[in-house]
Amino acid sequence: MITESPVRAVERCLGCGSTALEPVLDLGCQPLANRFTRPDPLGADEPAFPLGIQACPDCCLVQLTHVVDPAVLFSAYLYVPSASSTWVAHCAELAAYVCAEARLQPGDFVVEIGSNDGTLLRAFQTRGLRVLGVDPAANIAALANAAGIPTLNRFFGVATAEEVLAEHGPASAVVSTNVLAHVPDPVAVLRGVRGLLRPGGLYVNESPSLGDLVRHTEFDTIYHEHVSYFSLQALANLLARADLRLVDAVPQAVHGGSLRIVGVPSTSPRPASAGLRQLLAEEQVALRGDRRALRDFARRTAAVRERLRALLARLRADGKRVAAYGATAKGNTLLGYCGLTAADIAYIVDRNPLKQGLLAPGSRIPVVPPERLTTDPPDVLLLLAWNLADEIRQQLAWFAERGGAFLLPIPEPRLV
Ligand code: JHZ
């Protein structure tokens, strides 16, 4: 039987179609970062796909060298944002921000693209807004519907936008977090947003920021789900292609540094904010001639691998046992690129029950509940969820008090 490959090489820019793409970083062949698997006594092979990024000199979009069919990545999903109280608090603030910026009134209609388990929409719902989520993962959309967040189990694009428009009318606000960077055709998603917004409506999106990725050597946030790595300029260019205009941007600390952006229909009179103009100017300086900045990033990435491997080898020689915290998608890029396995890391704890009992892709390290830390404590805990280090270290104060050390891998491996 011939099955079609779910991966394709990106030869034309996903934003503007340019063929002048320039390679930035090659992380080798890696399995899908959220494909945690059941322990298999037959040791079935895991598919792995080329993982790397490249930059478009024409529209500035940094993007994967190979994309995987979204149906393979997102039709069933294990990640739920509600496992992190940092994220739940962030959602409450984001909802308040959107309500204020779009001057939403109770009863106004808010749509979220990639709404997952409804964590963000709940914050709008409690403010009296009419909400609808759209999410491609059948298992997760079912969780959201069961929890009272109406959710359409679909990929979002022009056709879904038309369906929502016909059934519910135009939206006063469309929001998405960690979604626009995940799709191989971001302009199609933005055209759907444009079609769904009422005149005067707002599109608010958050995605990890390229500037933070480069500055803090966050190479581990590169995986097949993350198709695009956005600078503000690249976002402005994409929005313009969908008849939207970027009018504001607010940097966020979440996920290692994200960009919150506000877009409006291009016919809207809303001017671009002074803050946006300032950020665009700063970005020009920081990422200007991105080639050098990106080359330096690639060099630091290789250095993290060498230092982390050396540090783990030293710990092992000293008889120290290492486990990890957070069965994160980015953790799997880190483990895979650094060539770490169960011989280096005894187990990974995670409080998401959907991941417990499974093996991390590639490294095949078992994922276990956090209670394991008390029954079988390691000497050192590698924080794969380094973006949530404050929240996790607070919970695990007892571990540090008993002499345990935390290992932060990014931006440079160090014991704290
Ligand atoms: P976290 C996700 O990546 C997935 P990941 C996705 N692809 C994306 O785009 C990015 O976010 C931005 C656990 N945890 O948020 C829960 C505890 O166990 O860093 C999560 O499994 N105990 C959509 O997977 C993981 O850590 C805790 O106390 O890299 C955190 O995953 C806390 C706070 C978290 O994202």
The per-residue pLDDT for range 235-278, each reduced to its tens digit, is 999 999 999 999 999 999 999 999 999 999 999 999 999 999 99
- Average predicted confidence (pLDDT) for the chain: 96
Ligand 1 binding pocket, CB closer than 6 Å: 79, 83-84, 178, 225, 255, 326-330, 350-352, 385, 387-388, 391-392, 395
C-beta neighbour count of 191 within 10 angstroms: 18
The minimum-distance atom of ligand 1 relative to the CA of 225 is: 7
C-beta neighbour count of 71 within 10 angstroms: 10
Q: Tell me the CA–centroid distance for residue 352 and ligand 1, in Å.
A: 9
Q: Tell me the CA–centroid distance for residue 328 and ligand 1, in Å.
A: 5
Predicted confidence (pLDDT) per residue in 196-212, tens digit: 999 999 999 999 999 99
Q: Tell me the CA–centroid distance for residue 326 and ligand 1, in Å.
A: 7
Closest Cα to atom 34 of ligand 1: 84
Distance CA 276, CA 215 (A): 20
Closest Cα to atom 7 of ligand 1: 225
The minimum-distance atom of ligand 1 relative to the CA of 86 is: 33
Distance CA 199, CA 172 (A): 8
Given ligand 1 and candidates 176, 206, 328, 358, which is best to mutate, with the most ligand atoms within 8 Å of its CB?
A: 328
Closest Cα to atom 2 of ligand 1: 329
Predicted confidence (pLDDT) per residue in 26-77, tens digit: 999 999 999 999 987 666 778 999 999 999 999 999 999 999 999 999 999 9
Q: Tell me the CA–centroid distance for residue 378 and ligand 1, in Å.
A: 21
Given ligand 1 and candidates 30, 34, 78, 84, which is best to mutate, with the most ligand atoms within 8 Å of its CB?
A: 84
Share of the chain above pLDDT 70, in %: 98
The arithmetic mean of pLDDT across residues 20-24, rounded, is 95
Which strands, in side-by-side order, build the sheet including 380-383? 367-368, 348-349, 322-325, 380-383, 405-408, 414-415
pLDDT at 286: 74
Closest Cα to atom 10 of ligand 1: 178
Predicted confidence (pLDDT) per residue in 93-110, tens digit: 999 999 999 999 999 999
Distance CA 267, CA 208 (A): 28
Predicted confidence (pLDDT) per residue in 146-159, tens digit: 999 999 999 999 99
